[in-house]
Amino acid sequence: MGQTVFIPRELDANEPRVAASPDTVKRLTALGFDVVVEAGAGTASRIPNEEFTKAGAAIGKAGDVSRADVVLKVRRPSEAELKAYRPGTAVIAIMDPYGNDAAVAALAKAGVTAFSMEFMPRITRAQSMDVLSSQANLAGYQAVIDAAAEYDRALPMMMTAAGTVPAAKAFIMGVGVAGLQAIATARRLGAVVTATDVRPAAKEQVASLGAKFLAVEDEEFKAAETAGGYAKEMSKEYQAKQAALTAEHIAKQDIVITTALIPGRLAPKLVSAAMVASMKPGSVIVDLAVERGGNVEGAVPGQVVTTADGVKIVGHLNVPGRVAASASLLYARNLYAFLETLVDKATKTLAVNRDDELVKATMLTNGGKVVHPAFVRAEQEPRVEPPAIPAKTMVADASAKPAAKKPAASRKPKTTGGIA
């Protein structure tokens, strides 16, 4: 009998995704695992139990987690859920640890080896494990679909015998993974698309997608990209110039989609209430950064707000979850790709190499302790000051955090059998 991988049903009411697909169940089985999927785990992602069974999984109940060697999840297990977990179980999920010290401590206390998928380094080898990219890509797509649904007019130009319908004008602010997909999707729907970013590399990418780039291209702009490819927080002066440039542009747009994020900071405010008010009635703004503080003044997490001037500001939560059937397939593949690297192909068992950079970057807790450098201090010296940024608003970039202290775990020798 092989080791067991368990896939629970997500308990968060706002989480329709699931951490496995029939495809990954087949692959996990081929790796030598027994796979147990909790009944109904895939329902909200349109994967019935039978599909999992056909792929080789057994359908189980929540309590089966207690015999799992590996748990694949979308969200971090709660303290209540952890009660049923066996110490030593590897738990792979989006752990969202920033500002959630108590939850991280609970993972350590439960003795599980927790891996935070959002800390996966963005290196070539780990591209297939990049949950931020796979989910942001779909969020960018869905943002345009949501905008189109709220925008009660046609997006493409239509030249008909009865006259011409003008194309909608869409402006994408922040052109990372989500923004690029938003541009591509809006173009496919026939909108006239412009986009902005503070990173110069974005300019060429925007042009290659057939959209027009608009930005304050001064000296600060030329140095706005960090070595990791992320944006820096811009100076007040730059922000003022950017606002002046975009204000006039936004007034002429039908749809604005904002995706701008800065690792470790609140999302930059890019659209002021005055800019919102300058738009025509019926215009739509989708704020994809709403869970991290929002790019748009007046955006409310989880709500579609209609302003007094008739502009709709869309602040949906968990946007990848709005396209859960697709998001789950990609997320499941991300998890499988990572788990495969943790398995000894000869013994067909878990063999976590603590010296592997992927493991170092993602391992949050192990052996009853918090081991991730960015969180180890939080455990040992409880912070006195409240975190500057609310939990849900942090960008999950562990590399942006200074290493507080070399984790004791990283001094341990490499292991080959199980998780030391």
Positions marked active-site: 122, 127, 130, 133, 230
The two structure tokens encoding residue 207: 């042009």
* Cα–Cα dist 175/212, whole Å: 12
* For ligand NAD, the closer CB: 171 or 336: 171
| Shortest separation between residue 259's beta carbon and ligand NAD, angstroms | 5
| Shortest separation between residue 285's beta carbon and ligand NAD, angstroms | 15
Q: Is beta strand 169-173 parallel, antiparallel or unpaired with respect to 284-287?
A: unpaired
| Shortest separation between residue 296's beta carbon and ligand NAD, angstroms | 12
* For ligand NAD, the closer CB: 89 or 181: 181
* Cα–Cα dist 212/204, whole Å: 10
| Shortest separation between residue 339's beta carbon and ligand NAD, angstroms | 19
Q: How far is CA 11 from CA 38, 81, 291, 312, 319, in A?
A: 12, 9, 19, 31, 17
| Shortest separation between residue 180's beta carbon and ligand NAD, angstroms | 8
Residue 153: how many CB atoms within 10 A of its CB? 10
* Cα–Cα dist 259/188, whole Å: 19
* For ligand NAD, the closer CB: 5 or 395: 395
| Chain residue whose CB lies nearest ligand NAD | 176
Residue 306 DSSP class? E
* Cα–Cα dist 420/413, whole Å: 9
Asked if 62 and 38 touch (Cβ cutoff 8 Å), the reply is yes
| Shortest separation between residue 62's beta carbon and ligand NAD, angstroms | 34
Asked if 321 and 16 touch (Cβ cutoff 8 Å), the reply is yes
The gap from C-alpha 157 to its chain's centroid, in whole angstroms, comes to: 33
Say how many residues make up the chain.
Answer: 420
* For ligand NAD, the closer CB: 201 or 240: 201
- Residues forming contacts to ligand NAD in the complex (CB under 6 A) are 122, 127, 130, 132-133, 136, 173-179, 196-199, 201-202, 229-231, 234, 259-263, 268, 270, 395
Asked if 244 and 274 touch (Cβ cutoff 8 Å), the reply is no
Asked if 8 and 40 touch (Cβ cutoff 8 Å), the reply is no
> Where would I find the H helices in 194-272?
201-208, 219-222, 236-250
